[in-house]
Structure 1
Amino acid sequence: MRGRLGLWVAVVLAVSACGSQHPSEPPVPSTSVSTPYAVPESAQYNYRWSADPGIDLFTPEATAVRAYVESYYLIVRALATSAGYPGFTKAVDEGLRVDYANPDSPGKSEFVGTQFQHLLWMSPTEHGWLATVCTGDYSVMRVDQDRKYYNVGSTNVHAETVEIRAPDVAGAVRNDSLPAEGRERAPEIDVFRGWRLVDHVKSARNQDAFRQCRSRMPDPPENRPAKRNLPHDAPYPTLAPYPGWPRYDEN
């Protein structure tokens, strides 16, 4: 009898022990919410691009140049590297970003209007491309504390050079089928596609570029502001971006 009782108690204890173990719950998947890119609120101006005959604004190399130039001026005016487009920090080494902030500026300003960019030359190099870009910022305006509008640029049109390196074949993200135009002011994904900045010179290496850039703007010199920092009661118009950027989730 004692043997049977002991056996019965052992069975009960064994069953109780098994029942006390809760089935393992599946691990909760970790979710990371990434904030989509947005143009800084202080930068309410748009870019409009054009190009000399034979230059396609929609090639991967031209798209990378556009993305870099637009990011550069957004960063300079927002005083923050985060203002650069998605993929900017991967495309531009930190050593090439040292002049993007202005330490003498008392604070951030608000900008409106339109900045005109023109691809004057695109020349192949051993490892990529050298682009000569005309920059017309005469119709970008800074909003001051008195709520007056002040010219950022003047009749002068800058000629600058941007050199980029082609993506490495091994680790490149080269989806040339991605569209490179649309109604958006900025891209939502990395449009550098593995291209990297080699150099950016604010004064073009070829001095003839300055003469040619004067005639590449949509407004003749006589219709551009003669001096910087002249107060205006109303800003220059903010035109729609061109080519602009698409909403990639709709493609």
Structure 2
Amino acid sequence: MSAVLAAVVVSVSACGTDEAKMPIDTPESAVAGYSVPENVDYNVRWSTEPGIDLLSRPAVAVRAYMESYYLAIHGHALSAGYPGFADATSQQRDRVDFDHSNDPELEQLVGTQFEHLLAMTPTEDGWVATVCSGNYTVMAEKGGRFFNLTGPSPQAETVRMVAPEQAQSVASERIVAEGAERAPSADVFAGWTISEHDPAARDQNAYAECDARMPDARDARPQKANVPHDTPYPTLAPYPGWPRYDEN
């Protein structure tokens, strides 16, 4: 798996430009004491299709939701998601009960999760996004060995979001939502809510497209779930990451 790491670093879609970016939050809105669950040591790296900006307001909401969703699953708690996650998902249909896991034991997770924003489409009240989740590079440590969570295929997921009324007209604005931090310390949802999340996209073509967007060739990925490895997939730096909101 390490053979592709150099390519990963240079191939992930860049989003930085010289455009001015709007602050996402004030220092007073930072949530003191928030941190990701202690058992979660993997980082998330995002890429996009051409024309999709990871620093636009809708894309930031997608990033925050998807990262929080998996943190809540792996941390077995709604509170494991980012600040504002509980409010952003309160109206979601078929909401997952994160606080009552069938497996009480928390797995120690390492590696890198690859997320690709495949499509963003405006709707009457917000946006719908198709997201590719490459979880095959997230591994659980057990007894000094490492077990990949999934097989080689990424998941294609659909997320429907409702925008605050005042935000729909300025959705293309770029905001401060990148940095060296692996998680935000402020509510980056800022009033955006998730009305529906389908972990299995209805568009079957999305699966083939997602497979082609992963940074590792298919034959270089773990071929089966829960296969033991002596070393884990490397934990790469988060991208685009999050800023220190208490220093804005």
Once the two structures are superposed, residues 169-223 of structure 1 have per-residue CA deviations (whole angstroms, 9 ceiling, x without a partner) of 39xxx9x674110000000101011100010001112111001011101111011
Runs of 4+ in 1 over 4 A off after TM superposition: none
In the alignment, does 2:102 pair up with 1:110?
no
| Bigger Cα Rg | 1
Q: Partner of 1:214 in structure 2? A: 211
CA contact (8 A) 1:113 1:236 kept: yes
Q: Is 2:181 the partner of 1:184?
A: yes
User: In the TM superposition, what are the counterparts of 1:57-136 in structure 2 within 5 Å?
Assistant: 57-93=54-90, 96=93, 97-101=95-99, 103-136=101-134
Structure-2 residue corresponding to 1:235: 232
Higher relative contact order (CA 8 A, sep 6+): 2
Unaligned ranges ≥5, structure 1: 1-33
TM norm structure 1:
0.81
1 CA distance for matches of 2:201 and 2:178? 27
Identity of aligned residues (%): 54
With structure 2 as the length reference, what TM-score do the two structures score? Answer: 0.82
Residue 95 of structure 1, CA deviation: 5.7
Structure 2 alignment gaps of length 5 or more: 1-30
SS of 1:138 mapped into structure 2: helix
Whole-angstrom CA distance in 2 between matches of 1:126 and 1:90: 21
Secondary structure of the residue aligned to 1:103 is coil
Work out whether residues 74 and 84 of structure 1, in 8 Å CA contact, stay in contact via their aligned partners in 2: yes
Q: For residue 8 of structure 1, what is the aligned residue in structure 2?
A: none
Cα deviation code 1:15-45 (max 9, x no counterpart): xxxxxxxxxxxxxxxxxxx642101110000
CA RMSD of aligned residues (A): 1.9
For the structure 1 residues 102 and 222, does the alpha-carbon distance in structure 2 shift closer, same or farther, using more than 3 Å as the test? farther
Partner residue in 2 for 1:143: 141
